[in-house]
Structures are given as structure tokens and as C-alpha cells.
Amino acid sequence: MEFIEQLKLKASQNKKRIVLPEGLEERTLKAADVILGEGFAEIILIGNPEKVKTEAGKMGLQNIDKATVVDPENHDKLDSYTDLMVEIRKSKGLTKEDALQLIKNPLFLAVMMIKAGDADGEVAGADNATGDVLRPAFQYVKTAPGISVVSGAFIMILKDKEFGEDGMMVFADCAVHPNPTAEELAEIAVSTGQTTRAIAGFEPKIAMLSFSTKGSAKHEMVDKVVKATELAKQQAPDMKIEGELQSDAAIIPAIGQKKAPGSEIAGQANVLVFPTLETGNIAYKLVQRMGHAEAIGPILQGMAAPINDLSRGCSVSDIVNLVAITANQAAGTV
Ligand code: ACO
């Protein structure tokens, strides 16, 4: 069975409520219809109920009446959500008037539904930029206990089955945090290991990537990766983590043996942790385009509740797939 089909099956065994704040967006409505038809998650759409019904009717969608539709202009939780917003952000000077303005924005309403326990996860971004999706999540849902930084992982399904776990690898951070410190990079590595176990479903062998292998180059950027590797090993002694490694030493057995003799991970890595967002984002897109790999994600990791951001160029099936991943995260696996 295909990877995504397995995730849908797991999600359908413990159905979670996923809020889609872009409830009038065409691909989102079509994706909601598919998900409700397949029945692997409950869907909450944010949007004017009449407009949702009209749009769904125009598109001939059959299952949208199974969704819960929340009108951002008229719902009975306005007071409780805005009180909660003020409580969370009063140290930042947020007033009730500010909160009443913000809550009109479906991206803020969605995170407050999660915070108040009225939804289990969110998928957005078909119609909004990454920063606009992430900021409300960072401000109100915040990071998971013990985590200070949210990052984004991609599950890469490669044509060449020699690499990773039968052609499957996990790359991070490819989506969120531009220039992590050594401490933050260590957290990203551990979060990525957890995502690998919970979503990709295999035991991580994590390579902390650099332009140096085991001291072959000296530079402060190399020092950062060496320190991050040490910290990550301390934080997750049960995970296999190795650094610093160049990418060829990480994934090609003969080169791994030569450059890092005796390493359990060099040449065998199935998780690549990049030193910066620039390297991670560039690398995943090159592998996706030039290597014709499937890139599933970004899967946001380290957030207190599952919230995932789509690319604005996403397809209906990208949305369906990310809801399947989010529902699995919400089921408590990450
Ligand atoms: N993890 C956790 N919290 C964070 C993070 C993070 N990585 N980054 C910012 N925050 C928090 C801040 O601490 C702050 O909290 P506070 O208001 O309670 O003090 C809040 O989020 C807002 O922080 P800002 O600094 O105002 O937010 P910023 O403007 O830096 O935006 C953002 C954060 C949007 C994630 C920014 O880092 C960014 O643009 N990253 C790049 C995203 C991107 O473009 N990715 C590539 C495209 S995606 C793709 O190709 C798949």
C-alpha cells in the first residue's frame, strides 16, 4: 500500500477534527469534499455557510454537507476566544479591541479553535503566504514543551530505492527557521527524528550536514554543526545521530566509509538535517525537480498542536495528503 494510503487508513481509525480556514478557496473545498468522501478526518471549514454551499454546488461537490462550517463573522465563541487571546498575549499589550479585530481573520480563528480544544489540527496556505499562516500559530498555539523552535520537514520519496529507507528519506529544516543556532539545530534534529518515527515510520539515522566531514574543514559554520550534533546526541541518546558529514559521506556507503570510517550512519543516512534554511530549502527543491522525487510536506514539527502550511501552488491532492499527515500528528504520534 502506498505511504499516503497507509496514513489515511491510520487516520480513519481515530478521526480528528481538522480546520481549513480557507473555506471558500476552490482547491480547499475540493480537497474537503475528497476527505469527507473518504472519511479519514472530520473537516471544519471557516467561511460564510451560504457562500460555502453555493461554491460547493457550482463545483458539483457531493460531500460538503458533512463538514462543520464556522462563519467568521457570526459564531457563538467570539467572547471566549477573544478573552483567551488577551490572556495569552496580554504581556505583548494585546487588548480586547485588538483581539476582536484579529479574530475576524480565519487564520487567527483557526488557531483559537485549536487552542480552545474545538479543533485538533489545521491545514492552510493555499491562499496565504507562509508567514501569515505561521505567525498566528507561533503566537497562540506556541511550541511543544521543551521545544523552542518550529521547523519544517519533507518526506522525500526518491526514484532511486538505494538511498535512505527503500528510497524514502526525511529532510529538515526546509521551510521555517532561517539561521538556527547550534542549540536550535540540535532541537531540529531531534524533532526530525521524532517525525521520522511517527510519520515516515522507520528508525532515523540522522546525518548533520556540513561542507566538512569529521574535521576536514575548519570554519565557524562547521563548529556550529559539530556542537549541534553533540547537543542532539545528549537530548536523544536513543537516536542514531552523526555529524558533521558532507552529503556524499552521508548517503554513499563507499564515501562514508572512507571519510568517516567506523561510522554507523555515514553512507547509510535516511534523515538529512541541513545547517540553514537556505541549504535545506534549495536542496529539497533540487532533489524534487532534478531527481524527480515526490516531496511530501512541509510537515511542521515542534508546535504544540499540528498546524501545517501549504504552498500557494498546491494541488487538491497536496491538500488531501497534508490533511492525512496532520490528522496522524493530531492522533498523538508526533
Ligand atoms: N519557532 C517558534 N517560534 C517562532 C519561530 C520558530 N521557528 N520563528 C518565530 N517565532 C515566534 C517568535 O518568537 C514570535 O513570538 P512572540 O510574538 O510570542 O514573541 C512570533 O513567532 C513572531 O515572530 P516574528 O519574529 O515576528 O516572526 P517573523 O517575522 O520572524 O516570522 C517566520 C517568522 C514567518 C517563520 C519567518 O521566520 C520566515 O519567514 N521564515 C521563512 C519562511 C519561508 O519563507 N520558508 C520558505 C518557503 S516554504 C517552502 O518552500 C516549502
Burial 245-266 (b: 16+ CB within 10 A, else e): bbbebbbbeebbeebbeebebb
- Mean pLDDT of the region 192-220: 95
| Alpha-carbon torsion, ordered 167, 272, 176, 327, to 10 deg | 40
| pLDDT for 142 | 95
Q: Are the beta carbons of 224 and 182 closer than 8 angstroms?
A: yes
| pLDDT for 44 | 98
Instruction: Report the alpha-carbon distance of residue 124 to residue 295 in Å, rounded.
Output: 18
Candidate of 91, 111, 176, 277 to mutate for ligand 1, largest count of ligand atoms within 8 Å of Cβ:
176
| pLDDT for 1 | 58
The minimum-distance atom of ligand 1 relative to the CA of 298 is 51
128 CA from centroid of ligand 1 (Å): 14
Check: CATH 3.40.50.10750 for 151-295?
Answer: yes
Provide the residue ranges of all domains of the chain, joining segments of one domain with +.
3-142+311-332, 151-295
The response to whether residue 177 sits with its C-beta less than 6 Å from ligand 1 reads: yes
Q: Express each pLDDT in 129-176 by its tens digit.
A: 999 999 999 999 999 988 899 999 999 999 999 999 999 999 999 999
188 CA from centroid of ligand 1 (Å): 14
| pLDDT for 2 | 85
- Mean pLDDT of the region 40-51: 98
Helix (H) or strand (E) holding 227: helix 220-235
| pLDDT for 313 | 87
The response to whether residue 3 sits with its C-beta less than 6 Å from ligand 1 reads: no
Neighbours of 278 (CB within 10 A): 11
131 CA from centroid of ligand 1 (Å): 6
Instruction: Report the alpha-carbon distance of residue 82 to residue 79 in Å, rounded.
Output: 5
Q: Does the pLDDT at position 128 exceed 80? A: yes
Instruction: Report the alpha-carbon distance of residue 145 to residue 224 in Å, rounded.
Output: 24
Report which residue type is found at 269. Answer: A
Instruction: Report the alpha-carbon distance of residue 100 to residue 318 in Å, rounded.
Output: 33
Q: Express each pLDDT in 93-127 by its tens digit.
A: 999 999 999 999 999 999 999 999 999 999 999 99
Pairing of strands 168-172, 17-20: unpaired
| pLDDT for 334 | 45
Q: Does the pLDDT at position 229 exceed 90? A: yes
> Can you count the helices (H) and strands (E) in the chain?
13, 11
| pLDDT for 281 | 96
The minimum-distance atom of ligand 1 relative to the CA of 129 is 44
User: Which cell is 273 given?
Assistant: 538535517
| pLDDT for 311 | 86
Decide which of 3.40.50.12780, 3.30.390.10, 2.60.40.420, 3.40.50.10950 is the CATH code for 3-142+311-332.
3.40.50.10950
| pLDDT for 123 | 97
The response to whether residue 287 sits with its C-beta less than 6 Å from ligand 1 reads: no
Angstrom distances, CA of residue 165 to CA of 102, 202, 282, 301, 313: 44, 8, 22, 21, 28
149 CA from centroid of ligand 1 (Å): 9
Fold: same for 3-142+311-332 and 151-295 = yes
Instruction: Report the alpha-carbon distance of residue 275 to residue 179 in Å, rounded.
Output: 8
| pLDDT for 146 | 84
Residue 157 has what DSSP assignment? E
